[in-house]
Amino acid sequence: MSVEDYRKIAREKMKGHCGVYKHCDGADIRICQRNAYGKGIGFGGVGSGQSFKNNFEAVNAIKLKMRVVGDHYNPNTEYDFFGNKLTMPIMGASVTGVNSFGGDEVITESEFCKATVLGAKYAGTIGWRGDTYTYDWDFMPCYDAICNVAEGWGVKISKPRDQEVLKKVFKKYEEGGAIAVGTDVDGCGSTIMAAHQKPVFKKSPEDIKELVNSTKLPVIIKGIMTQEDAIAASEAGAAAIVVSNHGGRVLDYTPGTAEVLPSIVDAIKGRTRILVDGGIRNGYDVLKMLAVGAEAVLIGRDIVRAAVGGGAEGVKTHFIHLQKTLEKAMRMTNVASLSDITREVIYG
């Protein structure tokens, strides 16, 4: 089955929550943006949805330079992530909580976690798992998927809960053999956590240092949108940051991640790994983000749809499609390997 075959299945299953459109752009006419005021944001963006739109539009605005005169070659998309050899610099974002896109009638939380982690593994890359209001110490489907089913092949990103809770979670995943752990600091603005009385907190540089020192695993700080926060996270010892506005789901009217990425790259490149998500839909978009300066990207909504439409096989198929499209984009812009990708690949 093809990517589109699985998308058709997802379109039927996710009726009323996601239209699985050709362009996932957060436009006002989209099903995900038609939620009434006072209700949960579902699969769309917070408030007006402008942050969601800005992610898509910022990536879309970057133009690639086509260079096709030269020797023929097969591009190499292999990527090293903390000593783990991946087939591509593309991983599954830590989207969690099936209630946002249809609930257990569409796919159970356990099935969703296993599909994303295993599908990524089958494609030679990594599925990240997140945190939501339904999770507690007695219900940890992410842990089961990463540490039991996938034998540690995954990354765990937690909401910015109490420090002692986070340290306990980090230790559990360390003992379970996970690749890395972290927290999405922009989760301090999570509407769904607040609605269910699950306390989340802003994290200071001292808090980040404490978390870094609490585990032997690399600690990733996700939800960075400014130079100031990037520098603070880097100086606090973060092994990597993710430039992200949470898919446009926590603060309305933020710029797109592709808009702020250049300044963050200029500030900390070479000191801390820089990853990015937001509005990335295909291999061409991946190349754009790598050209700006990220070393890898995370894909969220499309991997959700692949999991709903085809489970682990759907996720695997989607990742392979992304890799092949990235290969084509690299060949058409005269870059043979990831190390050859610079801002010379794009205009402006």
Domains of the chain by start residue, with CATH? 79-345 (3.20.20.70)
Residue 10: name the closest of 112, 85, 162 by CA: 112
Residue 41: name the closest of 191, 184, 160 by CA: 191
Residues 301, 278: Cα–Cα separation, whole Å: 9
pLDDT at 276 over 90: yes
pLDDT at 138 over 80: no
Residues 156, 141: Cα–Cα separation, whole Å: 11
pLDDT for the residue 38: 67
pLDDT confidence tier of residue 123, bands split at 50, 70 and 90: very high
Q: What element of type H or E holds 176?
A: none
pLDDT-above-70 percentage for the chain: 99
According to DSSP, the β-strands at 90-92 and 296-299 are parallel
Give per-residue pLDDT as tens, 225-257.
Answer: 999 999 999 999 999 999 999 999 999 999 999
pLDDT for the residue 92: 98
pLDDT confidence tier of residue 36, bands split at 50, 70 and 90: low
DSSP 35: P
pLDDT for the residue 93: 98
pLDDT at 35 over 80: no
pLDDT for the residue 149: 96
pLDDT confidence tier of residue 139, bands split at 50, 70 and 90: confident
Q: What is the mean pLDDT of residues 41-56?
A: 94
Q: What is the mean pLDDT of residues 147-155?
A: 97
Q: What is the mean pLDDT of residues 273-288?
A: 98
Residues 159, 201: Cα–Cα separation, whole Å: 9
List Cβ<8 Å contacts ≥24 apart for 24-31: 24/56, 24/281, 24/301, 24/302, 25/53, 25/56, 25/57, 26/52, 26/53, 26/55, 26/56, 26/248, 27/53
* CB atoms inside a 10 Å sphere around CB 175: 10
pLDDT confidence tier of residue 37, bands split at 50, 70 and 90: low
Q: What is the mean pLDDT of residues 279-291?
A: 98
Contact status, residue 321 vs residue 42, Cβ threshold 8 Å: no
Mean pLDDT of the chain: 95
Residue 217: name the closest of 123, 121, 152 by CA: 152
pLDDT-above-90 percentage for the chain: 91
pLDDT confidence tier of residue 191, bands split at 50, 70 and 90: confident
For 258, phi and psi rounded to 5 degrees? -65, -25
